[in-house]
Amino acid sequence: MRTMRTKDIVKKLNEILVGYFHYYGISDNSRSIKAFRYEVMKSLFYWLNRRSQKKSYNWVDFLKMLDYTHPLAEAKIYVSIYA
């Protein structure tokens, strides 16, 4: 997926993340799925910067891009086992 546009990469990644959050998003698992989302962000940052010899993003600009331009799916609890 490295050769795809950033918009398409984030769109596909959001589909994968939402499926993951639906499966693992149960009560008392919020810390783990938030940690997983953070690891996905670090991996995306790494691979986007490997697309050319010059770095595409620094961490601050990368976070701005994820917040404003191409938002990444948020970790969310979908099932409460206590209700």
Q: Is residue 48 part of a domain?
A: yes
Q: Is residue 78 part of a domain?
A: no
Residue 21 and residue 73 in contact, taking contact as beta carbons nearer than 8 Å: yes
Distances (CA, A) of 43 to 5, 7, 26, 37, 79: 16, 16, 24, 10, 27
Number of structural domains found in the chain: 1
Q: Is residue 62 part of a domain?
A: yes
pTM: 0.89
Query: What pLDDT does 70 receive?
Result: 95
Chunked mean pLDDT (size 10), the chain, 83 residues: 90 96 93 96 94 90 95 93 83
The residue segments making up the domain with residue 53 are: 6-69
Q: Is residue 80 part of a domain?
A: no
Q: Is residue 75 part of a domain?
A: no
Q: Is residue 55 part of a domain?
A: yes
Distances (CA, A) of 73 to 1, 34, 53: 18, 11, 29
